[in-house]
Structure 1
Amino acid sequence: MPEIETARLRLRHFTLEDFNDLFGLYTDADVMRYLSPRTREQTEASLCKHIQHWQNHNFGMWAVMHKNSGKMIGRCGLGFLENTPEVELGYVLNKSYWNRGLGTEASIATLNYGFWEVGLNRIVAIAHPENIASVRVIQKIGMKYEKDAHFYNTDVVYYAVTLDLWQQSGHK
């Protein structure tokens, strides 16, 4: 199964051994402020879903590993947007790694994988409108605002990027 290395990160597939790191992430109130905190059972189900998604679709969520520390610091990858056939970029990082450009770095690597390896023509991303940091990452990677929407039981801003736009912006 594919892995990706960037300057500071290694994106690898989740294993069942990642449960404690993922649970720590999913129970941090600051990290999950705009998402839903998860119980042990929900985290276990989420971890199994991440593993299964790769087996079924050849894309999914990666465990984001910080190369210098060797620690799992979050997740980033692609999945299906709730009740649609659209493919969505998603990411969550440990708060001690915020404001370093790591979300942007992982997201660019993920979009490259989606376009060049999976062969997608369009990738979307959504964020809670008040989640300024997440919206900033989405904009920084070249996604364009399309509309306000409602997914996962909350109002969100909806962005997208096409393969053509991605190529025009110089990504390879």
Structure 2
Amino acid sequence: MEIETARLQLRHFSLNDFDYLFRLYSDAEIMRYLLPRTREQTQVSLNKHIQQWQQHNFGMWAVIYKETGAMIGRCGLGFLENTPEVELGYVFDKSYWNMGLGTEASQATLKFGFWQVKLDRIVAIAHPENIASVRVIQKVGMKYEKNARYYGPDVVYYAIFQREWQPDDSLYILKH
């Protein structure tokens, strides 16, 4: 299953994506708020991205920039640490920051979560200092609910219910 947006293609990960994912996950600047990962941790993450789809019919997408065909990050849905809540998450290559691509991929992910997976609510967390990430969360319509602690550090916690969500009219093509 894939999604096409105006500038992006969101597709499932494959084992062949390891080298790219490791380059992303081992970059200290990109992973500043998420902790860089070793080769072993990256392999575990990649396997988890693949298994999540098989078990739950949602998960992380590999994000491809259509203009070049390059993989530029990941965006998708997963379970928030030790909860049944479904979380929007994303990581993008720093050379593609500040182009609105995180927002574009996140909008498509919310559409998928609400329209195809039929979720009632989606949450997102970010470090309060990670202004760019907080902006993406706000731009897709999520509302601040509380300060919390997940995956170790203090975070801001946002959420949106399907009934409150306003889909935008951006290009969204689902391919099976």
Question: Offset of 1:36 from its aligned partner?
Answer: 1.2
The answer to whether 1:13 aligns with 2:22 is no
Normalization by structure 2: what TM-score? 0.95
What percent identity do the matched residue pairs reach? Answer: 73
Structure 1 partner of 2:64: 65
Structure 2 partner of 1:83: 82
Structure 2 partner of 1:23: 22
Structure 2 partner of 1:107: 106
2:148–2:154 Cα contact (<8 Å) kept: yes
Deviations 1:25-76, CA, capped at 9 Å, x for gaps: 0011110000010000000010000000000000000000000110110000
Structure 1 partner of 2:52: 53
The answer to whether 1:128 aligns with 2:133 is no
- Flag the structure with higher helix content: 1
1:112–1:171 Cα contact (<8 Å) kept: no
Paired letter, 1:18 = D
- The 4+ residue runs of structure 1 with deviation greater than 4 A are none
Partner SS for 1:125: strand
C-alpha RMSD over aligned residues = 0.8
Greater relative contact order, per chain length (Cα 8 Å cut-off, separation 6+): 2
In the comparison of the two structures, how many residue pairs are matched? 169
Paired letter, 2:41 = Q
Normalization by structure 1: what TM-score? 0.97
Paired letter, 2:147 = D
Structure 2 partner of 1:139: 138
